[in-house]
Amino acid sequence: MKFTGKGTVSRFSLALLAVAALGAAGCSAVDKVADVAKDASKSDTARSKVGECINVISASVVDSKTEPVACSADNAVYQVVQVHDKKVECHEDYTSYEETFGSGGTVAFLCLVPNFKEGSCYNEGMMTGYKYVACTAPDASFKVVTRVDGQVDDQLCGEDADQVLVIHEPKITYCVSSSTT
């Protein structure tokens, strides 16, 4: 993902690490039973499928609280674009979400793209990623002025936007303003 514009040029890549505070699953001689137990240990977010969206309730590098939500919801900040059982490097346009179960290692690895809504405001943190906030909130970092699906072109934004965020796959252009009013 790439922010460009007249203002500060910013680039965000986030590794959300959700550490499950659950005990290790019991051993089983049958791999299929172990796989079912492993899947059962995943959070609802880790069970998300491509095209579904998640809300970041609270985020940190070591412990994040997230939940699946309808993509049309205001707080559907991220959309899942890839799901992996093993750690992979997500494309630079994507945000990483990794979930660990006890000391058993990673159980889910998702690649996410922002799912910002036109007219909505968000808080961004270099270590915690994006979170939906009210535009009147003191921690509102930017407002999405325009969202253009199907095109990647920073020339689509007018004077009311001071930065542009482009996602190459799927193609989305976000025109954003640091002014949240």
The domain locations on the chain are: 2-177
Report the alpha-carbon distance of residue 150 to residue 99 in Å, rounded. 31
What token pair was written down for 44? 């609802």
Which of the listed ranges 3-7, 54-58, 100-104, 147-151 does the model predict with the highest average pLDDT? 147-151
User: How does DSSP classify residue 30?
Assistant: S
| Predicted confidence (pLDDT) at residue 23 exceeds the cutoff of 60 | no
Name the helix (H) or strand (E) containing 75.
none
Task: Answer yes or no: are the C-beta atoms of 53 and 76 closer than 8 Å.
Answer: yes
- 160 has a pLDDT exceeding 70: yes
Per-residue pLDDT at 12: 34
Higher pLDDT, 12 or 46: 46
Average pLDDT, integer, range 72-80: 92
- Computed over every residue of the chain, the mean pLDDT equals 75
- Give 121's pLDDT tier (boundaries 50, 70, 90): very high
Give the pLDDT confidence score for residue 101 in this predicted structure.
Answer: 64
Closest CA to 59 of 89, 24, 15: 15
Higher per-residue pLDDT: 11 or 119: 119
Which residues make Cβ contacts (< 8 Å) with residue 120, sequence separation at least 6? 74, 132, 135, 143, 144
